[in-house]
A and B are shown apart, each in its own frame.
Chain A
Amino acid sequence: MNAIIKSMIFLLVGGFFFAACGGDASSRGGNGDNALSGKIEIDGSSTVYPISEAIAEEFREVAPDVHVTIGVSGTGGGFRKFSRGETLISDASRPIKDEEAKACQENGIGYVELEVAYDGLAVVANPENDWCDYLTVEELKKIWEPEAQDAVKNWNQVRDGFPDAPLNLFGPGTASGTFDYFTEAIVGESGRSRGDYMPSEDDHVLVQGVAGDKNALGFFGLAYFEENADKLKLIAVDGGEGPVKPSLETVMNGSYQPLSRPLFIYVSSEGARRPEVVKFVEFYLNNAAKIAEDVGYVPAPQSEYDEQLKKFKDFVARFRNQ
């Protein structure tokens, strides 16, 4: 208790002093590259955020005087800022759309797309569910398409042989990128889904829901399954070539389809002219494999990163002297 009171006093009394003249904590690196300085502004997808955050954290050791900031405006919001030249790097959980690319072009902003990791979606059931080990994409579509609303409400409607038990569905809310991605991959159109399932923007709530209901079926990011593997049962997905469970290997080698997607960063031509940004992006690609795994995503194979690095170097060479 005493420590807490002390912390409180520190927080309140020392507050403005620290706010005004603190901030040197970022220069602890010591042996870093002190020649580099400047500001790198990143914005975009909240899915990619954990990777960029971790990279920026490690980059503090390399170049302590480079200030990296990261926002979470979403992939679309990030591209809007990127195309106005307000950011030099944009986090994205999907490729850039045509109209976003056009906006960049109109403002004279060139860019390069770099793959940094993969994200898998896990379809999960309760561990007591002993009847369902895999679902085909067709079956998932039958469950989740809008036509299923008020119609498909029992497990035995999904496949002959499934028991007569209510089908209780859990999934992310409509504002989430995960929802867009699942509906696009399974139903065929982003955002098309039945409405009568238990939605939550908080994936921890979905985990609790599926873990507490024998008849539940749900989906969310693979990282949430891995953190709660003891409370959930992973359902394999059959995309046409036999049932595959999502894992590091199956997402990385592309056999877990269609519920895995690449994550990107976009770097602008203005960024290519700034040495601190170039250094940061190279650092990003060199460390993405390890970091991605750390924060719960699936790294791409090393050859992929080598290729991205080469692509980036070509891009820099093209814009450096313009």
Chain B
Amino acid sequence: MNSIWWNRFLDKAFRVVGIASTLIGLVLLAFFIGSILEEGLHRINLDFLTNLPSRKPEKAGILTAWAGTLWVLALTALISIPLGVSAGIYLEEYARKGPLGKLLEVNITNLAGVPSVIYGILGLEMFARTFRLGGSLLTGALTLSLLILPIIIVATREAIKAVPNSIREASYGMGATRWQTMRHTVLPAAGGGIATGIILALSRAVGEAAPLIVVGALAYVPFTPKTPMDDFTVLPIQIFNWTSRPDPGFVINAAAGIIILLAITFLLNGIAVWLRYRWQKKVNW
């Protein structure tokens, strides 16, 4: 068999395999979104968004669930962004690159892969019990912050790494200090990447149910939280709760809840794409 023919065949074969792999993902996603929309879209209306939980599926709403989700999202962002970005900047620009730094780096990368329920157990012992914060919003947000910190740190470092060294050197050459270089050259250039990382990390936090159930988020909360110390529930818990009910009406509610959750996630991802695009246009060397 002639090897030119064989190589061409391989080339074509890989192309077919590649297309098939891509399509499987897309088709499954389309099928999933399609069936969810078909099942739940007609259930979404203003009442569904403003009603409290109820035993009657047609009366039940997700007000407290999405209010809780927004609260948790905002608090988590407030806690995790300053910590994660600072840690990322320090590790990449300031810390000495020795064996200790290497060890830290490997550990942080590993932490990003720890199952979320483990963070829940940590949060329960540390925040809920030791710090006596109970099953409050603050406990949930602190726990989710731990969960997404590694992702933010890694994203920050990658974004800073991508800024060419010549830019830094030019800045030092002008007599700028390390902080001035950071503040006026590196961070503006890396901002798009950092913001994208933060938002992808937050959209992971939005979908978490397991660690929040462990720290004591509840299933039935008939009031929207007013302070960070209030009890709460979130959309994923409400959805999970509804899928385990015998009445088929709750399955429709769950589908409608999933649509809202997906909308929040897509919105966050959309912001990430937009930020990256805007930053890319702004940065011109």
Contacts and interface: CB of A to CB of B under 8 A. Distances in A.
B67 A22 contact: yes
A49 B219 contact: yes
B231 interface: yes
Interface string B259-282: 010010001000000000000000
A26 to B, nearest CB: 5
Interface string B64-98: 00110011001000000000000000000000000
A8 B49 CA distance: 9
Interface string B29-52: 000000000000100111011111
A68 B217 CA distance: 14
Contacts of A86: 134
Contacts of B51: 25
Contacts, number: 118
Contact of B246 (A11, A70, A227, A291): A227
Contacts of A203: 244, 246
Given A53-B220, A70-B219, A22 B63 contact: yes
A67 B246 CA distance: 26
B135 interface: yes
Interface string A37-79: 0000101001001101110110010000001111111000000
B115 to A, nearest CB: 16
Interface residues on A, range: 35 or more
A35 interface: no
Contact of B220 (A11, A69, A202): A69
A186 B222 CA distance: 39
B169 interface: no
A151 interface: no
Contacts of A97: none
Interface of B: 41, 44-46, 48-55, 63, 66-67, 70-71, 74, 134-135, 213, 216-226, 231, 241, 243-248, 251, 260, 263, 267
B247 A71 contact: no
A46 B218 CA distance: 11
14 contacts: A3-B44, A3-B45, A7-B44, A7-B46, A7-B49, A50-B55, A53-B55, A53-B219, A69-B218, A71-B219, A72-B218, A221-B246, A227-B246, A295-B55
A23 interface: yes
Interface string A7-36: 110111001101111110110000000000
A67 B233 CA distance: 14
Contacts of A49: 219-220, 241
Given A49-B219, A69-B221, A202-B243, A16 B263 contact: no
A224 interface: yes
Interface of A: 3-4, 6-8, 10-12, 15-16, 18-23, 25-26, 41, 43, 46, 49-50, 52-54, 56-57, 60, 67-73, 86, 201-204, 221, 223-224, 226-227, 291, 294-296
B260 to A, nearest CB: 7
Most buried by A among B71, B216, B222: B222
Nearest to A11: B49
A19 B49 CA distance: 12
A53 B260 CA distance: 23
B216 A23 contact: no
Contacts of A68: 220, 222
Contacts of A71: 135, 216-220
B176 to A, nearest CB: 39
Contacts of A60: 52, 222
A10 to B, nearest CB: 7
A23 B71 CA distance: 14
A25 B219 contact: no
B257 to A, nearest CB: 12
A16 B74 contact: yes
B44 A19 contact: no
A227 B135 contact: no
Given A19-B71, A227-B247, A12 B267 contact: yes
A163 B53 CA distance: 48
Nearest to A19: B67
B247 A296 contact: yes
